[in-house]
Structure 1
Amino acid sequence: MERPWVNFDGNWEVYPWQNVNVKIPVLRVSSSSGVSVYDTWVSGPSSSLSEVGLHLNLNSPLTNTFYKHPIVNGWENWNIAEVRIILYKHMIEVVSLTFDGLDTNAMSWFAKSQLLTSPWKDLKGSSTNFLGIEGSNGNRRFFISSHYSGCGGDYGWFVVLDADDHCGWTTRSAYPAFSYVSGSSKQNWLSGAVRDADDLVIFVTLYL
């Protein structure tokens, strides 16, 4: 049976799978789209093949919709070697994190023990109070946090904000928001070198 895979080179195209390792986008959500990234990842339905070109074109922001590959809902049925989560700003990659995907499920790959590469030099050697998809406070998802100290003293590296909560650094005009540290080490979420991205895309690499 022929299944699709997609290669990003400014546009998305559909090709037949080959008998090699392939990188497949399994999730795309745009900022301010009104879509809960966490709910979509955990329990959202898969997109149809006809939606690949429409929903994976970074020239077109998504509103009230998303792209999700069926692989996510059947994660443990696939031989997933690596998982890569990328943030894009103006269609340019601004953050890339790579995780070991072997012997994981759809929730366990995003863990410090699985982390292979990140843009932050201090992350692997630093303590974290949260590093996981579930995150904290019911709204801070895919969260990589250093420590809490009364909102104004909160430090971290990466977070998907699905909604507002009691801290000022989580307030946006629309959600979700994809916040990341633009430097090489953890920052204060409120006053540090923190930026927001336009799109979140998660890729998996399969051993076929």
Structure 2
Amino acid sequence: MKSLDTCAVECFQTECLSINYQSETKECQLSKDSPYTNPVLVQEAQYWEIYYLQKENDWELVFRAQAHNNISPYNAWIGTLSLPTLVEEGCLLLMNTSTCTTIYRNDILNTWDSESISEVKLELYKAGVRVVNIRFDGKGSNYIDWFGIDRLIDSGWETLTKHRTFNHFTLWGSEWRRFLINQYYGGCPFDSGWMAVIESNRNMEFCAWESSSIRPVFLFARGEDVTRWINYDHGFADVLAVFIRR
């Protein structure tokens, strides 16, 4: 039998990333997985409480948005959206959950320039499984320009390189399309890209491929190259997460 404090100290002294604690029996279990490294496996069970580091190795979660909740990830990111001070536990998980009704935004975004950030990565998750992983050079960046082709280090798409042509590779994107990595606009039937976050369009007309009854939606190319959005062979992610490494 151990106290929660003793259990936490043991975790910090090892490679542990999460703690399972049973308060009645004082039973403590240490795990090398966490909701960040294995969100499908690491979930809170009945009569147990889970405590975990907000990090995956050296990566720290600074932003987490969820699809279909009518909240703008872009407005939350740039700080123009009022968010609750109290962080809901579900908003720290990398899977779709009813226990998160808002967006998690770390105050680090307000002090980005002074945080000595070396790398940034953006990930998309579907049913707790990572489906997009894009890594950027964060040195000398600000909270807006880190997301750009000039800072790209690598991604899960072999064709997403600095040698490709883009009409958009920016956080602010184009109108209601945010976090946008797109190759070509040629009218709705010919729009092609790798990733797009579709937000509210203030009653402007959507292309058929980006329509949804509840936004935002997180779209991504399933293959190694761009997808022509109108072909509907792209994926829909549940969660968008941004991490930093110092």
Bin the TM-score by the shorter chain.
0.7 to 0.9
Match of 1:85 in 2: 122
Q: Which amino acid aligns with 2:194?
A: W
Structure number, greater radius of gyration? 2
* Distance (whole Å) between structure 2 residues aligned to residue 52 and residue 83 of structure 1: 24
- For the structure 1 residues 118 and 71, does the alpha-carbon distance in structure 2 shift closer, same or farther, using more than 3 Å as the test? same
String of CA shifts for 1:144-178, please: whole Å, max 9, x gaps. 00011111111100011112543111101211110
Which protein has the bigger strand share? 1
Q: CA RMSD in A?
A: 2.4
* Distance (whole Å) between structure 2 residues aligned to residue 158 and residue 151 of structure 1: 15
Q: Secondary structure, in 3 states, of the residue corresponding to 2:240?
A: strand
- For the structure 1 residues 85 and 61, does the alpha-carbon distance in structure 2 shift closer, same or farther, using more than 3 Å as the test? farther
Give the alignment partner of residue 120 of structure 1, picking from 154, 157, 163: 157
String of CA shifts for 1:110-143, please: whole Å, max 9, x gaps. 000101111222221210000000101x210010
Deviation at 1:14, TM superposition (A): 4.4
Match of 1:38 in 2: 74
* Distance (whole Å) between structure 2 residues aligned to residue 59 and residue 140 of structure 1: 21
1:202 aligns with 2:219: no
- For the structure 1 residues 130 and 69, does the alpha-carbon distance in structure 2 shift closer, same or farther, using more than 3 Å as the test? same
Q: 21-30 vs 59-68, which deviates more?
A: 59-68
String of CA shifts for 1:61-91, please: whole Å, max 9, x gaps. 4664111111112111201111111100000
Using structure 2 for the length normalisation, give the TM-score: 0.73
* Distance (whole Å) between structure 2 residues aligned to residue 168 and residue 198 of structure 1: 20
Unaligned runs of 5+ in 1: none
* Distance (whole Å) between structure 2 residues aligned to residue 127 and residue 74 of structure 1: 32
**Moved beyond 3 Å, runs of 4+:** 11-17, 44-48, 61-64
1:174 aligns with 2:214: yes
Deviation at 1:54, TM superposition (A): 3.7
Give the alignment partner of residue 195 of structure 2, picking from 140, 144, 158: 158
Using structure 1 for the length normalisation, give the TM-score: 0.85
Unaligned runs of 5+ in 2: 1-16, 19-33, 43-49
Match of 1:130 in 2: 168
What is the count of residue pairs matched by the alignment? 197
Match of 1:53 in 2: 89
- For the structure 1 residues 171 and 161, does the alpha-carbon distance in structure 2 shift closer, same or farther, using more than 3 Å as the test? same
- For the structure 1 residues 63 and 168, does the alpha-carbon distance in structure 2 shift closer, same or farther, using more than 3 Å as the test? farther
